[in-house]
Amino acid sequence: MDKKNTTIGVLLLLVGFASLYLAPRPEPVAPPAATPASTPATPAVEGQPAGTATISAPPAPAAPSATFAALVGENADATITTLANDHVELRLTDFGGAIRDVAFKNYAATQGNPEPFVFNRLHAAPILSFNDFPGLDHRTRFTLVSATATEVIYRAVFENRLEVTRRYVLRAPGDTTGDPYRIRHETTFRNLTGETTALPRTTINLGTTSLIDGNDAGQYLNVATYDGEDAHFVDRSDLQGGGVLSSVGVGNRADLPYLERTEKTVWASVKNQFFASIFTPENPGVGVFVRLIKLPPLPGSTQETIGLTAASRFDLPALAPSASTLLAGELYVGPKEYTRLDTFGHREDLIMQFSQGMGKIFLSGIVAPTLNKLMKWTYDFVGNWGIAIILMTILLKVISLPFTLAASKSAKRMQKLQPLMQAVREKYKDNPQKMNQATMELFKEHKVNPAGGCIPILITIPLFIGFFTMLQGTAELRFQGFLWAKDLSAPDTVMRIFGLPLNIMPLLMGVTMYFQMKLTPSPTTDNMQAKIFKFMPFFFTAICYNFSCALALYSTINGLFTIGQQIVVNKYTKTDPTPTPLGVPSGTGKGGKKIKNVTPPKKN
């Protein structure tokens, strides 16, 4: 039965992995037909008064000329205006009256380089510029109305009918109110005509993003939206064709030209592993529009990088003569710091993706935020991220110690009971019902809980998954060194042998897991399961080999603590009495029924 269950489990795993590659991809939403850039007068639309003029613009190209969005070249005569504080430097351009890019003063672009990381450095359009709106998009030159240390205002007039004013406000240096990475944005549309004018659906760019470096696997490179209840993500792979099995003709498809989600949008974000832009409007949008974009290769690579660019859509009301309407909100462009995002009030912290994938099963949406806050609090106390991880790992082990000790003792008693259980199996091998009954009576008589050894796993797995999801996107760990590791958010590669990386911390983690497995009593005599348990240290070492050094550090300290704990348990359970050999009356079982004597099988 045990071998059968093991076989079924392996088959289910294979089916699960296959479903990842063979599952159908979302199809692109058919783009609406293109409309003229402007129509001075059109028939009345339902809900609008007769004689209403309509200013319209295509929200998406009817037939995209290329699969990928194109990079925007720098206008040679663009006027760049800068807003800055202690954390960011915004560079605004008068083409589109928008944010060309944002430099993060406290986050370096590369290891050992003082140059700051620049979000939207290579882009399809400036952040918050209008998308697919000829006459008002990033090709349109706005007039710089005013510029101070904290505020920039642009203005443009569309066909002498619509005035558009764009205002940006950044928190001043030294100002302790609000968040230094958030920008207040207001776009005012004013009708300059004497007739009611219907505005088109407006699309505002969120920015362009790509992989951070060669260690970035791209699992957090996506576009996120929040509808007021749940967060939704459009991954880069949702638009990319091919696949692992495409070479044999299975699951192969072409790249999608774009992908559109139509839903209530409380906020929308473009993000990578460590940084994000999030636009939270005062009035929710109606969806997002996502496209792939080809970018230059990463340093040290010759292969071009595929990034994402996106825009958020908004419906605007019709404007009466001389009336105006406001599209306003807060733009966050900065690092993915959970303790910062958690204070914004519209669940912007969900971009951390703590509850995605396996994290949802193991309650990482609860575990990971708690671990993040605990790690941040510990760092504020000790001033070193590596030591903070070690201390919080020990703290978590101490908290779970009563449960793991009870489980370890149960596993030890279970191990001593194995000869008796084997005897029961031999005696009743042709009668599974009696075998199960005799086994249960055996557990009851010797006060052994067969599920007792599962408690440490039930505690450890959520912590491990929570730690993994938390560490993978925590910007604070980026380029933070510890011992020989130069970057806790990346593998601790000390050298390369024949081109292969030598990562020390995962190997130490594997060694501790091996000795931990050797010391832990095996609760089963099944040969197949015993081999699986022995193989697990090597399996986890291979899986975690290229994960962040911080995760391997946590697992290593966790393993060392568990080894010490198991040594103590083994020492103090050596004197526990061995269960009475079967073949001798051993008491009564359930309902006063005497347990039949069972003679253990003879050893050859």
The per-residue pLDDT for range 236-260, each reduced to its tens digit, is: 888 876 554 443 444 556 678 888 8
Whether CATH 2.70.98.90 fits 72-353: yes
Q: How far apart are the first and last CA of the chain?
A: 24
Residue-wise over 78-117: b if at least 16 C-beta within 10 A, else e? eeebebbbebbbbbbbbbbbbbbbbbbeebebeeeeeebb
- Give backbone dihedrals phi and psi of 520, rounded to 5 degrees, phi first: -80, 130
Neighbours of 585 (CB within 10 A): 11
The per-residue pLDDT for range 462-477, each reduced to its tens digit, is: 877 888 788 877 888 8
C-alpha–C-alpha distance, residues 354 and 342, integer Å: 13
- Domain ranges within the chain, ordered by starting residue: 72-353, 377-572
C-alpha–C-alpha distance, residues 393 and 553, integer Å: 9
**pLDDT at position 43 over 70:** no
C-alpha–C-alpha distance, residues 471 and 473, integer Å: 6
pLDDT at 518: 74
Q: Please, what is the average pLDDT of the chain?
A: 77
Q: Give Cα 111 distance to the centre of its chain.
A: 23
**pLDDT at position 285 over 60:** yes
Higher per-residue confidence, 117 vs 213: 117
Neighbours of 523 (CB within 10 A): 22
Whole-prediction pTM value?
0.77
Neighbours of 216 (CB within 10 A): 19
Residue 462, both tokens: 């959520």
C-alpha–C-alpha distance, residues 55 and 135, integer Å: 11
Decide if 166 contacts 157 (C-beta within 8 A).
Answer: no
C-alpha–C-alpha distance, residues 82 and 148, integer Å: 9
Task: State percent of the chain over pLDDT 70.
Answer: 71
Which residue reads 């596993």 in tokens? 411
Helix 385-399 × helix 401-416 angle, to 10°? 60
The per-residue pLDDT for range 262-280, each reduced to its tens digit, is: 899 999 999 998 999 999 9
Residue 378, both tokens: 């510990």
Q: Give Cα 567 distance to the centre of its chain.
A: 37
C-alpha–C-alpha distance, residues 316 and 200, integer Å: 7
The mean pLDDT value for 395-418 works out to: 72
Cβ-based neighbours of 91, under 8 Å, separated by 6 or more: 80, 81, 82, 99, 100, 101, 102, 103
pLDDT at 55: 60
